[in-house]
Amino acid sequence: MKPFVFRLEALRKIRTRREEERQQELAIAAGNYRTAVAALQELQQQLDVLLVKCEQEKQVGTTISTLIDYENYLWVLREQCERQQEAVNHLNEQRVAALKALEEAMKERKAVDKLKAKRLEHYEELRLQEEQKVLDELAGAMSQRYQGSDYE
């Protein structure tokens, strides 16, 4: 009997390669997301520190121009935080999309792997049936040989 050959091996390799690509895309998207979150946290920390300084300046008593400068800088930081939050949201959507793409690629590869396993199982059944047939023929031939001889 011929050895087992999975005719869809090329498709399985393509699906495996696609899954690996999706894993890389997810890793990149997750890294970009983490970087953006860290940048947002940094901006929020700067904003918090500046708010405390601004309140301290108000308590001590300072010039109007200094308070206006603080307010302007606070406004800039808030705008940056908003833009960074939008970037984080967008990158999170990309990360989720990459995760879904990976899940789909894994599902496709697993379907081909299951098909391969079923075909291999069927091949093994046929091989065992053929082996059993050969053994039955040998047993029948030996039985006929012993029945026709004088060994009884």
- 60-99 pLDDT, tens digit per residue, is 887 888 888 888 999 999 999 999 999 999 999 999 999 9
The whole-number pLDDT of residue 150 equals 53
Q: 152 pLDDT exceeds 60?
A: no
The DSSP code sequence of 74-143 is: HHHHHHHHHHHHHHHHHHHHHHHHHHHHHHHHHHHHHHHHHHHHHHHHHHHHHHHHHHHHHHHHHHHHHH
CB 1 within 8 A of CB 114: no
Rounded CA separation 65/128 (Å):
92
